[in-house]
Structure 1
């Protein structure tokens, strides 16, 4: 199956032609950000809204113009929020400003690792869902936490591969593979990816997409890196659909012995 033509990312009943989501901070310039979006053609781009901002023009005129020009779907996030009340307030502001019910839920519990507040994340997600939001929660790879998010109505979740901005790639493959086996809703790896090969890897495991920011924005050539990640995501998905061969402990000859002259078999 060709993933480009016949296989879309589906979230909350909406289909997206790409399995790559792109963050929009820390780029060298608005022009580079624009080129990265054009090159990678992401399903959505993230946008954070501080409580100080009351309208799009206060966010960044250049950034806002890029989004309008490219007509790419926006995924507002609640970056920087440490309390559930902050999350709810910022989410409602973002819905008014960006005119969308989509929200990436970030509730930070630790400033050093930027790990989500696992104690309050589920209840906060439930409140947002009851308020009519399509919630994509940023979470850890904890199975019980992720199942709790699904149980309160999250139709997709976004576990990390590693702490935000580290670029380490999947640091706990066992947990991520187990999570993919046990959780049935779409899952997008968010945070910690540094290389296109990391994106290919998690898509090969059956993850439905990736969200990137630092890996592209801080590359020496962000535009080339955006293109590389777009290709890596497609390759990983097609490999998953193709079905990988089983691993073997011993060598397996790719050429059968049948028909080989007897002196080559000694």
Structure 2
């Protein structure tokens, strides 16, 4: 999954989405509706017959705001031809410095949106108990952060994300903080079902090239996970047999 924010131009965004090969693109409902800088014409810039729109509630500080914006996002998707699109990336972020999601507000909003028929994809801290609770109320996925949004710190919560993946009965998407293809690959090697990457692509010197690199990283990580890595050992293990060696 990729995002549509922070690009230097609409053209760079379009090129990057194509280069990434992604099938789901997230769009900030509020920024599109208000025609915020960099978002003018964004809704019309992509071919929504080929890409699934994931409206998000970016900019919402409370559960009530997020619920309202999610409803607007569903209507926006319908206007753009996706009549059966009930997806919403749920973000409830009152913290403007670190952009950390509010766990209580997120859970409250998720419960209501699920009741209204939304497929809820909540953005959360890497909290295994919250992830399980969101699964229990009917969320379609959980999206734990690797590190704070746009920070480029990579995966700082590996142990907790691993617990979430091991215990989840729904897909797990690592979202936020990833900066390099190796980090995207790491998330997939851990068993994540997907990653969502925006800042690392949009802020790169060559966004389209970085989008392609991220795509390859995701593919490599997924294949590695399916292949099954060798166990970690505290001692060496020769790759060639010790029998049949030449001796005096």
Aligned partners of 1:177 and 1:93: how far apart in 2?
34
For residues 1-266 of structure 1, what are the structure 2 equivalents within 5 Å?
21-50=1-30, 53=33, 60-61=40-41, 63-68=42-47, 71-99=50-78, 100-263=85-248
Aligned partners of 1:119 and 1:65: how far apart in 2?
35
How many angstroms does 1:172 deviate by?
2.0
How many angstroms does 1:155 deviate by?
2.5
Structure 2 vs 1, CA of residues 130 and 54 (structure 1 numbering), >3 Å: closer, same or farther? farther
CA contact (8 A) 1:109 1:118 kept: no
Aligned partners of 1:69 and 1:77: how far apart in 2?
16
CA contact (8 A) 2:88 2:119 kept: yes
Aligned partners of 2:150 and 2:56: how far apart in 1?
16
Aligned partners of 1:52 and 1:155: how far apart in 2?
24
Structure 2 vs 1, CA of residues 149 and 26 (structure 1 numbering), >3 Å: closer, same or farther? same
CA contact (8 A) 2:32 2:40 kept: no
How many angstroms does 1:184 deviate by?
2.2
Aligned partners of 1:94 and 1:155: how far apart in 2?
17
Task: Give the total of aligned pairs.
Answer: 239
CA deviation profile, 1:216-260 (whole Å, cap 9, x unmatched): 000111111000000000000000000000011111110111221
CA contact (8 A) 2:23 2:50 kept: no
Extract unaligned runs of 5+ from structure 1: 1-20
CA deviation profile, 1:149-198 (whole Å, cap 9, x unmatched): 01100121111000100011111211111221122211000111011111
How many angstroms does 1:51 deviate by?
8.0
CA deviation profile, 1:78-131 (whole Å, cap 9, x unmatched): 000001111111111111111121100000131111111112211210100111
1:4 corresponding residue in structure 2: none
How many angstroms does 1:60 deviate by?
2.4
- TM-score normalised according to structure 1 size: 0.86
Aligned partners of 2:233 and 2:247: how far apart in 1?
27
- TM-score normalised according to structure 2 size: 0.92
How many angstroms does 1:138 deviate by?
0.3
Extract unaligned runs of 5+ from structure 2: 79-84
Structure 2 vs 1, CA of residues 175 and 54 (structure 1 numbering), >3 Å: closer, same or farther? closer
CA contact (8 A) 1:81 1:87 kept: yes
Q: Secondary structure at the match of 1:119?
A: helix
Most deviating of 155-164 and 175-184? 175-184
How many angstroms does 1:71 deviate by?
3.0
Aligned partners of 1:69 and 1:140: how far apart in 2?
30
